[in-house]
Amino acid sequence: MKGKQYFIIDFDSTFTKVEALDILAEISLKDDQNKNEGIQKIKDATDKAMAGDLSFRESLTERIKVLKAHRDHLTELIEKLSKQVSKSFHRNGEFISKYKDNIYIVSNGFKDFIVPIVEKYGIHAENVYANEFKYGSSGQIIGFDDDNLLSKNDGKPNQIRKLNLEGEVFVLGDGYTDYEIKKAGLAHKFYAFTENVRRESVLAEADHEAPSLDDFLFSQNLERAHSYPKNRIKVLLLEGIHTHGFEKLKSEEYKVETKPSALTEEELCEAIKGVSILGIRSKTQVTAKVLENANRLLSIGAFCIGTNQIDLEKCLEKGVAVFNAPFSNTRSVVELAIAEIIMLMRNLPDRIMKMHNGIWDKSASGSSEIRGKMLGIVGYGNIGSQLSIIAESLGMQVQFYDIEEKLALGNAKSANSLNDLLATSDIVSLHVDGRASNKWLLDESQFEQMKDGVVLLNLSRGHVVNIDALKKFIDNGKVHGASVDVFPYEPLTNEEPFESPLKGSRNTILTPHVGGSTAEAQVNIADFVPGKIIDYINTGSTSNSVNFPNLTLPILKEAHRFIHIHENHPGILAEINNILADHGINIVGEYLKTNEKIGYVITDIDKNYQDDVIKDLKMINGTIRFRVLY
């Protein structure tokens, strides 16, 4: 049992995100000609005092003089400040109300606006030590109570001394005057609070940094809103991931670092240490060796579609959940496919080339509308099915072939076989996935079955089409036109030359794997992947994970969530439940899913339990990882 603990908390830039007098200046000087100059003077005086460069009293006198404020302005000020309470104070209302008798707000600000704000969180008005305004006869603010200790230099230590606190005293604040309490020997620990501002001169004197109230509460093992402070979750984003992704993760309060390019295996082995979330695109290789060095890694976000660059098996063994963006660029691929179908049906690639060579060849030969033509889609997944809808809306007929049973959208029809589809389609568009068995899905014999004058599109994977066979059938005229965006071998960098037998072929569009490369897709990816990761960190939800069993979990309310990841042996669920029963724990909800390698068990329980249950759960043979969430 801990002895008595007291919490001395600063108000401006700590309890609230802002300096109240700066906000008051914006209100009181709203219509003043020299408004900006006045606001700047007040900010400068505040900063100088906070950094210890100007005596507090001089700074206060200066600020009140410039303010020209009135009692009536305070209503608007209080309204504004209530919306500016620091996020981590706001969410930790439970801690504040539980410890209200031991919390003191000690501020060089003014009770006139502090009390109404902190009282809403349960803090006693008599526990607020701050200055008081002096008002003139018509309500204008003309000064401050000179006798108040907090209006004088060394006000905070002198005030705390008078309180005569017996127990452990913690001070949380962003300014030098907060440190002065510790300096005077009146506090055990001074935590420099940096959620809103970071003053190096104050940090230099602090015992610890508190990037949030959660972090302080975590360090003292006190009741808190989050089981683990988000500012301690380190994120590393590589390969110049779109800034949208950075912002989304940053707004979760994670500590995010970005790098513009990929790292080598060796560099990544070093950089990954201490990282909880890694964000990559297609160039970073997350090998078994990298994962061995990943001592805190919870999740990897592949800000792209493919995940071949990640050792998914090893990720499972280490309990690292991997997410990607499987349909963030679906629409982009579909739009390009539509454009290419029209281009090829009009023989445009050849016509464009001729124009560039100075040849005017006006004729309708080899040009058709797409209206009424039969589009055969091979692979009716995300892209194939979306293409189906848009092609139909342009007046095409659609049939598709998929190895899995698929719902036919709109008027599309499911073909009986690939051969049937090939034999009856005017245009064939490939949208299968990259599984190895899809190698040369279209080879000579498939081309032979196609209609004469067929148009072929491959925006799926390079190995799906035998390029030599395609070349042969373009050359002999069976294939009227082709679009190829993906190749069996693709240059690794933009500097490497592109080689293919298809270069220079008739009515053929060759593109450098840009089907999904649009500004919109980049934003979608940068939004989708962090969304999945944040969900996983906050709730344990694994929906759309590439390697974890997919579980979509309800939001946690009034309960704690135990997340147990283990090797998939029989009997582990029973073991978890026995341990919970032995500790007399009331289970509110339980969710389980397994794949061939791991089991994922989520148990929501009543908040009141003894911590030793956690130790027992971690001891279960085969446990890969255990997390508590709330």
Contacts with ligand NAI, residue ranges (CB under 6 A): 305, 326-327, 329-330, 333, 378-384, 401-404, 431-434, 438, 441, 459-461, 485-486, 513, 515-516
Nearest to 133 by CA among 60, 81, 76: 60
Min dist. Cβ of residue 262 to ligand NAI (A): 19
Closest CB to ligand NAI among 187 and 432?
Answer: 432
- Element of type H or E holding 599: strand 598-605
Min dist. Cβ of residue 371 to ligand NAI (A): 25
Closest CB to ligand NAI among 400 and 562?
Answer: 400
- Positions annotated as catalytic residues are 461, 490, 513
The span from the CA of 445 to the CA of 167, in Å, is 86
Closest CB to ligand NAI among 387 and 479?
Answer: 387
Min dist. Cβ of residue 304 to ligand NAI (A): 9
Residues in the chain: 630
The span from the CA of 263 to the CA of 261, in Å, is 7
Min dist. Cβ of residue 334 to ligand NAI (A): 9
Min dist. Cβ of residue 329 to ligand NAI (A): 5
Nearest to 526 by CA among 383, 286, 323: 323
DSSP codes joined into one string, 268-321:
HHHHTTT-SEEEE-SS--B-HHHHHT-SS--EEEESSS--TTB-HHHHHHTT-E
Q: Is 107 in contact with 115 (CB distance < 8 Å)?
A: no
DSSP codes joined into one string, 356-410:
HTT------TT----TTPEEEEE--SHHHHHHHHHHHHTT-EEEEE-SS--PPPT
Min dist. Cβ of residue 410 to ligand NAI (A): 17
Nearest to 428 by CA among 382, 472, 464, 468: 464
Closest CB to ligand NAI among 546 and 572?
Answer: 546
How many CB atoms neighbour CB 266 within 10 A? 10
Output the residue with the shortest Cβ distance to ligand NAI.
Answer: 381
Structure tokens at 622: 């085969």
Min dist. Cβ of residue 441 to ligand NAI (A): 5
Q: Is 129 in contact with 150 (CB distance < 8 Å)?
A: yes
Q: Is 500 in contact with 510 (CB distance < 8 Å)?
A: yes
Closest CB to ligand NAI among 40 and 414?
Answer: 414
Closest CB to ligand NAI among 22 and 335?
Answer: 335
Strands 103-110 and 5-9: parallel
> In this structure, what are the phi and psi dihedrals at residue 107, rounded to the nearest 5 degrees?
-140, 150
The span from the CA of 223 to the CA of 97, in Å, is 11
In degrees, rounded to 5, the angle at the alpha carbon of residue 440 between the alpha carbons of residues 435 and 442 is 115
482-517 in b/e burial notation, b at 16+ Cβ within 10 A?
A: bbbbbbeeeeeeeeeeeebebeebbbbbbeeeebbe
Closest CB to ligand NAI among 131 and 329?
Answer: 329
Place of tokens 């500012």: 231
Min dist. Cβ of residue 385 to ligand NAI (A): 8
Closest CB to ligand NAI among 59 and 460?
Answer: 460
Q: Is 154 in contact with 144 (CB distance < 8 Å)?
A: no
Closest CB to ligand NAI among 404 and 596?
Answer: 404
Min dist. Cβ of residue 43 to ligand NAI (A): 50
Closest CB to ligand NAI among 402 and 535?
Answer: 402
Closest CB to ligand NAI among 284 and 388?
Answer: 388
Min dist. Cβ of residue 428 to ligand NAI (A): 12
Structure tokens at 228: 């683990």
In degrees, rounded to 5, the angle at the alpha carbon of residue 42 between the alpha carbons of residues 36 and 44 is 100
Structure tokens at 509: 């569009």
Q: Is 450 in contact with 482 (CB distance < 8 Å)?
A: no
Q: Is 450 in contact with 477 (CB distance < 8 Å)?
A: no
Min dist. Cβ of residue 522 to ligand NAI (A): 12
Q: Is 105 in contact with 118 (CB distance < 8 Å)?
A: yes
Using CA atoms, how far residue 536 sits from 229, 586, 602, 617, in Å, is: 15, 24, 12, 20
Closest CB to ligand NAI among 306 and 531?
Answer: 306
3-state secondary structure of 354: helix
3-state secondary structure of 174: coil
Q: Which residues lie below 8 Å from residue 54, measured CB to CB, with a gap of 6+?
A: 45, 48
